[in-house]
Amino acid sequence: MKKLNHRVLAEGEVTGHAHRANAGTLYDRGGGTMLLDAEDGATVTHEEHAPIALDPGKWVIGIVQEYDHAAESARNVAD
């Protein structure tokens, strides 16, 4: 794992907004996932919704996908 020098969990491809953690250490795990080590907990902020409180622990962050049953395909959710 590679330690990252920021706490940006995901950047919006459409809006330019970002989900950011206010505490903890973020690592790149490879394969499109990250690990947030927040032993004292953290708060995730984003410009378009209320803050989200995270309990203390290790959190795996990945890209959320949505499945289109009519097209029988999956795609990454865009922000």
> Which of 20, 27, 19, 18 lies closest to 60 in space, CA to CA?
27
DSSP 33: E
Q: What is the pLDDT of residues 2-54, one digit of tens each?
A: 999 999 888 776 666 788 999 999 999 988 889 999 999 999 998 777 999 99
Query: Per-residue confidence at 62, pLDDT binned at 50, 70, 90?
Result: confident
Q: Distance between CA 15 and CA 60 in Å, rounded?
A: 24
Contact 22, 43 (CB under 8 A): yes
What's the pLDDT score for residue 74?
A: 60
Q: Distance between CA 52 and CA 64 in Å, rounded?
A: 17
What's the pLDDT score for residue 6?
A: 93
